[in-house]
């Protein structure tokens, strides 16, 4: 089925992304999701926000988890297989990406977890690493943006802080994919003047 569908991933592009991930610690591709899928996922995220199905995100893990709107202001919903046809299409694409990344980088990625994220105007996420102190399974972070016609002056950039290099701002433009190494890449989300929607996810290695 994948071979006939528009979401077939381009092996050459994927290899370039994997190379950039290794060399720079991050990588992006601008038109990663098919336009119709981006629209369907955006509509689903907005509908979930409207009915109150998204919850304020916590920081930390396990017993140390707390909601700290001053550190992190997004509302999220973790994805489950079978949640909707659009989510299943997205999860299938991420599964293909996982297999391709393993083929190029030998990272041993064996799971994917992902949530919708909705940042209302003014919400942000302070600089952080995605890997938890007591759990090193998160290996590659993935963000896909769902925002139609995003303008740079609307803010909301993902700001990457690669060690020893100048920071990099990436606008949350619909269909765009960003990958980075969860353990190493300090990053933050800047506040925006409009709603900012995304799917954030993590390829994980089984804990040793």
Ligand X SMILES: O=C(O)CCC(=O)C(=O)O
Binding site for ligand X (CB under 6 A): 117, 125, 130, 143, 158, 187, 189, 198, 200
Nearest to 37 by CA among 95, 80, 99, 85: 85
* CA dist., res. 139 & res. 107, Å (int): 8
130 binds Fe ion (CB under 5 A): yes
14 contact choice in ligand X, Fe ion, none (CB below 5 to 8 Å, kind-dependent): none
Contact 75, 117 (CB under 8 A): yes
Which residue number places its CB atom closest to ligand X?
Answer: 158
Q: Pick one of Fe ion, ligand X, none as the site partner of residue 158 (Cβ within 5 to 8 A by kind).
A: ligand X
Q: Report in angstroms how near the CB of residue 177 gets to ligand X at its nearest.
A: 11
Question: Based on the number of CB atoms within 10 Å of its own CB, is 174 exposed (0-12), middle (13-18) or buried (19 or more)?
Answer: buried
Least distance between ligand X and beta carbon 200 (Å): 4
Would you say 167 and 91 are in contact if contact means Cβ atoms under 8 Å apart? Answer: no
| Partner in contact with 27, chosen from ligand X, Fe ion, none, beta carbon below 5 to 8 Å by kind | none
Residue 143 partner contact from Fe ion, ligand X, none using kind-dependent CB cut-offs of 5 to 8 Å = ligand X
Contact stretch for Fe ion (CB under 5 A) within 25-33, 42-50, 128-136, 145-153 = 128-136
Q: Collapse the DSSP code of 55 into the 3-class scheme (helix H, G, I; strand E, B; otherwise coil) and give the result.
A: strand
Q: Does 74 bind Fe ion (CB under 5 A)?
A: no
7 three-state secondary structure: coil
Q: How far is the CB of 54 from ligand X (least distance, A)?
A: 13
**Shortest spacing between CB 47 and ligand X, in angstroms:** 19
- Integer Cα distance of 48 and 52 in angstroms: 6
What does the alpha-carbon distance between residue 18 and residue 23 come to, in Å, rounded to a whole number? 9
Choose between 15 and 59: whose C-beta lies nearer to ligand X: 59
Q: Closer to Fe ion at the Cβ: 71 or 120? A: 71
Could you tell me which of 118, 121, 107, 203 has the C-alpha nearest to residue 155? 121
């Amino acid at each position: 089925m994948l071979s006939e569908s528009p979401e077939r991933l381009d092996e050459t592009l994927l290899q370039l992304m994997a190379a950039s991930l290794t060399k720079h610690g991050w990588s992006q591709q601008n038109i990663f999701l098919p336009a119709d899928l981006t629209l369907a996922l955006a509509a689903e995220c907005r509908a979930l926000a409207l009915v109150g199905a998204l919850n304020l995100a916590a920081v930390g893990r396990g017993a140390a988890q707390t909601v700290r709107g001053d550190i992190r202001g997004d509302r999220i919903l973790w994805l489950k297989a079978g949640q909707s046809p659009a989510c299943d299409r997205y999860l299938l694409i991420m599964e293909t990406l996982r297999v391709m990344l393993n083929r190029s980088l030998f990272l041993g990625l064996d799971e994917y977890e992902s949530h919708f994220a909705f940042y209302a105007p003014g919400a942000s996420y302070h600089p952080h690493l995605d890997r938890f102190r007591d759990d090193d399974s998160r290996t590659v972070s993935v963000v896909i943006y769902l925002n139609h016609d995003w303008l740079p002056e609307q803010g909301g950039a993902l700001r990457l802080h690669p060690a020893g290099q100048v920071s990099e701002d990436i606008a949350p433009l619909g269909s765009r994919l960003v990958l980075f190494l969860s353990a190493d890449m300090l990053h933050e989300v800047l506040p925006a003047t409009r709603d900012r929607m995304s799917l954030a996810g993590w390829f994980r290695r089984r804990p040793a």
